[in-house]
Amino acid sequence: MGKTGHDCIRDYLTVLDNSPGVYRMLAENGSVLYVGKARNLKKRVTSYSKPGGHTPRIARMISETASMMFLTTETETEALLLEQNLIKQLKPKYNVLLRDDKSFPNILVSRAHEFPQIKKHRGARKEPGEYYGPFASAGAVNRTLNQLQKVFLLRDCSDSVFEGRARPCLLYQIKRCAAPCVGKISKRDYAALVADAERFLKGKSTRIQARLATDMEQASAALDFERAAALRDRIRALTQVQQNQGINPRGVREADVIALHMDGGQACVQVFFIRANQNWGNRDYYPRTGAGAEAAEVLQGFVGQFYSRRDPPKSVLLSHPIEDHELMQQVLSQKAGRKVELAIPLRGEKAELVAGAARNARESLARRMSETAAQAKLLEGLAEAFGLEETPTRIEVYDNSHIQGAHAVGAMIVSGPEGFIKSQYRKFNIKGDDLTPGDDFGMMKEVLKRRFRRLLKEDADRKTGVWPDLLLIDGGAGQVSVVFGILQEMGVADIPVVGVAKGVDRDAGKEEFHRPGKRPFALRHNDPVLYFIQRLRDEAHRFAIGTHRAKRSKAIGATPLDDVPGIGAARKRALLGHFGSAKAVSRAGLADLKAVDGISDRVAEKLYDYFHEKG
């Protein structure tokens, strides 16, 4: 056994210089304990080699260190960027880790058509048009779009629906669209509505409201009461939008407000999005705190990882100081290609915004801790009900879905101390060619074998925390017997298995529970643990049904053209639009194929050869 702790770290001092860079601390089994950056690698590692002066967290980390790795960089800025990338990739035990890193939706005013469409957009900004965002959630975007339709009457239908309209749709009847599809508004007047909508999204709503009021008065004076009433309705809708946005700061045009609250070793970070002097929603995050990091490190880790794949706004307002304020500001400015201000406001409107975000963070964390405590109690009750030696921290629930054996899928959901862990959900496309259609036992066998083969291959020593403490199976004694046989065959029969079967009347609340080699039993109909198990089973069923429907929909929309090399979505649309069906494409002559827009002579020849060689 080699050296660990201070002795191990001290041995690296002779090979290090004063360069900036990134270091990794590794445990005996090779897992990464911590990733850090340093302006001076030798100086930082020297501090770890000394026995005293460390927080309990750092002392534990040092004691577990069996080896280290180093990467030098040209600048400390590069080191900070590399550090955040490695943390997200390696997920070390002692680092702060942002676990939820989804993209944010935007509003897109599309320019691909002469009558622009307004819609929600998420992902890469490839479509031509103006993007406004980010919004905190799809709900925030939908609410804004709903109100914008009332005020500016812009279409939200796709181009293909637009082109196919012969008469106005319902949105025109309820005054949510100007119906440019059937000529109810001129191109010029519609362009004016689009311009107004974009002014509003840029924070210039006062000017729009004043002009609408003037137009309403003129229409009323001209005795055009129908137009005056329509303008009055638009003014009311615009006022309602402004009220729904809550806090609309006058002195903060563009900023992200980031506030941290910590309690009991847990953290909540609340992010508010201020754009065009408008509040575009907020979202809370619960970063892993790296086994007890201080607020400055938690907030620094959050900011670095939060903006690793996002462009920062002009201003980022923080509730707490971070470890490398100037360096982080430099990194964000470099990423944005312009100056980004990183500030901790102490007074005025900005400080009020931060205080509001901090209050939300405190309340959100209190709710989460309460829910976590309730979840922990349910897990303890589950362990007692099923006679488990320890309270489970990872429950895997399995279910299958098919229609008479067609489009069969297996589904696995995961639950733990913090509730459902959706990032760990898995789907299994049933591949067994020798299965009898509808053979649930055979499907379960295939799913469980694939699942545990992978676990044995990737983590045979069970050190990564992805092994289940309990398997819940939708079924009775037969399914449990099959699953237990598979676990015995694979050498993992120590994992508890419980089958959840409906009772004699098939009623929820009368479930029977089956365990290998034991008599079935039931829980009291009002037992909270019973409701908990029902929620787990229902979630597995929901996920399985959704996965099955997606697979079935994909199969229904499939055509023989999908298998032809070089035929992507655009060419497929062109061919189907020209010939009407895939069957007609397969029977078409070479000259007819060449006549299709977007199909070159070479592609037409490849297509013709594909179908005629197969025939």
Q: What does the pLDDT read at residue 533? A: 92
In a domain, 433, yes or no: yes
Statement to judge: residues 238 and 305 lie in one domain: no
Q: Where are the beta strands (DSSP E) in 510-572?
A: 512-514
Together in a domain, 268 and 239:
no
Q: Are residues 459 and 547 in the same domain?
A: yes
> Can you list the residues of the chain whose pLDDT is less than 70?
1, 101, 205-207, 209, 227, 234, 237-248, 402-407, 432-439, 503-509, 548, 551-560, 562-563, 613-615
In contact, 152 and 200? CB cutoff 8 Å: yes
Angle between helices 205-221 and 187-201 (to 10 degrees): 140
In this structure, the answer to whether residues 114 and 227 fall within a common structural domain is yes
**What type of residue sits at position 507?**
D
| Shared domain check, 232 and 182 | yes
Residue that is last in its domain, among 520, 535, 554: 554
What domain range includes position 456?
395-554
Cβ(356)–Cβ(282) under 8 Å?
A: no
pLDDT digits (tens, 9 = 90+) for 335-376: 999 999 999 999 999 999 999 999 999 999 998 888 888 999
Is 389 inside a domain boundary? no
Give the pLDDT confidence score for residue 592 in this predicted structure.
84
Angle between helices 76-90 and 295-306 in degrees, nearest 10:
90
Q: How far apart are CA 21 and CA 365, in angstroms?
A: 35
399 domain residue, yes or no: yes
The predicted structure's pLDDT at residue 366: 92
The CATH number covering residue 295 comes to: 3.30.420.340
Tally of structural domains, the chain: 5
Query: 3-class SS at 93?
Result: coil
Least Cα distance to 397 among 522, 504, 483, 512 occurs for: 483
Q: Is residue 12 part of a domain?
A: yes
Same domain, yes or no, for 172 and 286? no
- At residue 81, the pLDDT reads 92
Tell me which of 217, 244, 271 is where a domain ends: 244
Q: How far apart are CA 335 and CA 102, in angstroms?
A: 19
Tokens 């050190």 sit on residue:
463
DSSP state of 12: T
Q: Report residue 427 as tokens.
A: 């789907």
Among the listed residues 133, 350, 352, 365, the one whose alpha carbon sits nearest the alpha carbon of residue 269: 365
Query: Would 93 be classed as within a structural domain?
Result: no
Which domain CATH number covers 607? 1.10.150.20
**Which of 244, 270, 301 finishes a domain?**
244
User: Is residue 300 in some structural domain?
Assistant: yes
* 428 class by beta-carbon count within 10 Å (0-12 exposed, 13-18 middle, 19+ buried): buried
Token pair for residue 64?
Answer: 């577990």
Is position 471 within any domain? Answer: yes
Do 514 and 404 fall into the same domain? yes
Task: State whether 123 and 162 are in the same domain.
Answer: yes
Same-domain pairing of 48 and 119: no
pLDDT, residue 182, reads 92
Q: Within this chain, do residues 259 and 235 fall inside the same structural domain, yes or no?
A: no
Are 315 and 425 in a shared domain?
A: no
Predicted pLDDT at 223: 81
- Vertex 382: Cα angle to 381 and 383 (nearest 5): 90
Residue 95 lies in a domain: no
Query: Is the same domain home to 77 and 61?
Result: yes
pLDDT of amino acid 323: 92
First-to-last C-alpha distance (Å) of the chain: 67
**pLDDT for position 615:** 42
